[in-house]
Amino acid sequence: MLVERMRPHTSTIFAEMSALALRTGAINLGQGFPDTDGPPSLLADAAANIGSGINQYPPGVGAPELRAAVAEHQRRFYGMDVDPDAVLVTTGATEAIASAVLAFCEPGDEVVTFQPYYDSYAATIALAGAVLRPVPLRPNANANANPNPGGQRPPGFGFDSDELRAAFSSRTRLVLVNTPHNPTGAVFDREQLTLIGQLAAEYGAVIVTDEVYEHMVYDGREHVSMATLPGMAERTLTISAAGKTFSVTGWKIGWVHGPAELVAAVRAVKQFLTYVSGAPFQPAVAAALALPDSFYAQLASDLQRKRDLLSAGLRTAGFTVFDSAGTYFVVTDVRPLGYEDGAEFCWSLPERVGVAAVPVSVFCADPELGRPLVRFAFCKRDEVLTEAVARLVALRAPAG
Ligand SMILES: *Cc1c(COP(=O)(O)O)cnc(C)c1O
């Protein structure tokens, strides 16, 4: 029944893993959502907005206070000069990405993106009838881009510049960039983003950047927003959302900003996907974006501690653990535990030790790329992570 172009995208691994976790009582470190609520002021504001009647369609472009707050946030954190009129509020980052792909790609046009990738990318590109040109992110490649102070552990993921160049062609319409990157935890630096930008300019492609983890970068790293690089603002659509930053993934409040004609094209599609959503949440998110620097610093330091807790436990359990420079995910290699296939490992893990995770191969166009890799989420309460680690250590092969 399903249209042919969507048939490769029916995988329900998250639902299946979550169901398996539930059935076995496993701790679910598969799906990436926090197990605590966001800032109390945000929750109270949203409840008050519902109580005071902010419940009908908001303006099609979004609530004015949220558009202004996004512009101010971009000025405050990145020194960008964003006109609130150039901000479009969307139903999560997901809708902003889908609208952009549908707005710019004719059937057969090509979209360059990095694999593994957030699962909606491939499905959305397929819906548009466009062609995915994936550039592999591999452990250890471009290691200098993610220097590891200790030098002992394997560094994070990076891309090869020749492979990036080879992915571009005269049909390249869009470059879809995600930094900090889910699932690998890579944070692209200025040099990497400059190369991506140069190629996009050379081939006349629009850049769409998914920055939903912008406030989750660790070890003193800096999140570099593509649109701040010289000459890039004129070809870049910058996307972010409230879900990750404020631990409200179920609210689906996102936004996109960029040059007026690009945003207008995105809006033309967006208005017929959902039209609008989240009226009472939009003004609440506007107020939360203005929370003091201490909120954002605390978010990053809490998550860095959680990353360290889980990463150390995974190493003790025998995994190869790659450096996560950002996001709330850490990627491991299960081969030291005697497995070749991450998917097989993930199917057995809940029964064996009572923890659930997801195989990286489900985020890949070429499953071989991620075959031995498994992603764990660390956006959970410390006691949950501590218990997960205690369970995982049982994987360590008994001596003799
Ligand atoms: C969670 C996530 C999204 C989705 O954001 P929503 O605001 O929930 O739509 C988009 N991109 C990446 C990389 C994500 O991890």
Ligand 1 within 6 A of CB of 182: yes
- The rounded distance, in Å, linking the Cα atoms of 382 and 259 is 42
Ligand 1 within 6 A of CB of 92: yes
- The rounded distance, in Å, linking the Cα atoms of 284 and 65 is 9
Contact (CB, 8 A) for 167 and 111 = no
User: pLDDT value at position 400?
Assistant: 42
Select the more confidently predicted residue: 140 or 277. Answer: 277
Pocket test for ligand 1, best of 31, 176, 182, 187 (most atoms within 8 A of CB): 182
Closest atom of ligand 1 to 243 CA is 7
- The rounded distance, in Å, linking the Cα atoms of 127 and 107 is 9
Each residue's pLDDT tens digit, 36-87? 999 999 999 999 999 999 999 999 999 999 999 999 999 999 999 999 999 9
Report the pLDDT averaged over residues 309-319: 97
> Hey, what are 352's tokens?
């064996």
Ligand 1 within 6 A of CB of 124: no
Atom 15 in ligand 1: residue holding the nearest Cα: 182
- The rounded distance, in Å, linking the Cα atoms of 154 and 158 is 12
Residue 71 CA to its chain's centroid (Å) = 21
- The rounded distance, in Å, linking the Cα atoms of 329 and 156 is 12
Each residue's pLDDT tens digit, 261-287? 999 999 999 999 999 999 999 999 999
User: pLDDT value at position 13?
Assistant: 81
Ligand 1 centroid from CA 341, angstroms: 26
> Hey, what are 190's tokens?
């200025």
* pLDDT bucket at 14, cuts 50 / 70 / 90: confident
Residue 165 CA to its chain's centroid (Å) = 23
User: pLDDT value at position 142?
Assistant: 46
Ligand 1 within 6 A of CB of 118: yes
Each residue's pLDDT tens digit, 79-125? 999 999 999 999 999 999 999 999 999 999 999 999 999 999 999 99
Q: Which of 155-159, 230-234, 357-361, 380-384 has the lowest mean pLDDT?
A: 155-159
Parallel, antiparallel or unpaired: strands 355-356 and 373-377? unpaired
Enter the DSSP assignment of 371: T
Beta bridge partners of 207: 175, 236
Cα radius of gyration (the chain): 21
Enter the DSSP assignment of 329: E
Contact (CB, 8 A) for 337 and 395 = yes
- The rounded distance, in Å, linking the Cα atoms of 183 and 190 is 20
Enter the DSSP assignment of 326: B
> Hey, what are 341's tokens?
């296939």
- The span from the first CA to the last CA of the chain, in angstroms, equals 54
User: pLDDT value at position 144?
Assistant: 44
Ligand 1 within 6 A of CB of 210: yes
* pLDDT bucket at 31, cuts 50 / 70 / 90: confident
Ligand 1 within 6 A of CB of 183: no
Report the pLDDT averaged over residues 210-215: 98
What would the DSSP string read from start to end of 199-256?
A: HHHHTTPEEEEE-TTTT-B-TT--PPPGGGSTTTGGGEEEEEEHHHHTT-TTT-EEEE
Ligand 1 within 6 A of CB of 178: yes
- The rounded distance, in Å, linking the Cα atoms of 177 and 223 is 13
- The rounded distance, in Å, linking the Cα atoms of 289 and 138 is 34
Residue 145 CA to its chain's centroid (Å) = 19
User: pLDDT value at position 397?
Assistant: 64
DSSP 3-state of 131: strand
The total number of residues written for the chain in this structure: 400
